[in-house]
Amino acid sequence: MRGISTWSGCRSNLSAGKFVTAMIKELSSEETQIIYDIINQAAFVYKGAIPEDCYHEPYMPREELIREMKSMSFFGWEEGDKLVGVMGFQPIKDVTLIRHAYVLPDYQGKGIGTKLLNHLKQMTSTRQLLVGTWADATWAIDFYRKQGFKLMPHKDELLMKYWDIPKRQIETSVVLGMEV
């Protein structure tokens, strides 16, 4: 994916007739800190919602993010000069995974996650698009269902085949998928 121009732009009416340019762009390692900040600010919602032994602060340590960035592309939603949402895109084997989808709390509910996801759907060249999330993250499950994803049977097999996550996370997660 690197090197391909993936900008798409529009103008957002934020309030009182003010317009701010909004863009989707592929992110680089130079933006690791802001990706890290967005993930960890937005992931605060998991505290108390997922098993206590699975939540830690920071939610995603910097070393883990750096490792993850080597195996996938990250895309971001930028409003004006501020990156406010991120989503990972990882073609692997015969599927594509949506990974680490987060929008800053003050920007949630404004369609940013939907716009990022639609952009990544258009980029998908495999037949199936999958996303994993915590079973108790009902808001995330609801979001993906509204986008056309369905809960997948045999989630443990899928999580073991396509993700590199701990056994405890497999036990407490679900997989949603869609044909593209």
Among 149, 142, 75, residue whose Cα is nearest residue 109: 142
**Residue 16: predicted pLDDT:** 55
Look up the pTM and report it: 0.88
Please give the share of the chain, as a percent, with pLDDT higher than 70: 90
Please tell me what DSSP assigns to residue 125: -
- Tokens encoding 96: 């594509």
Amino acid found at 35 = I
Task: Assess if CATH 3.40.630.30 describes domain 8-179.
Answer: yes
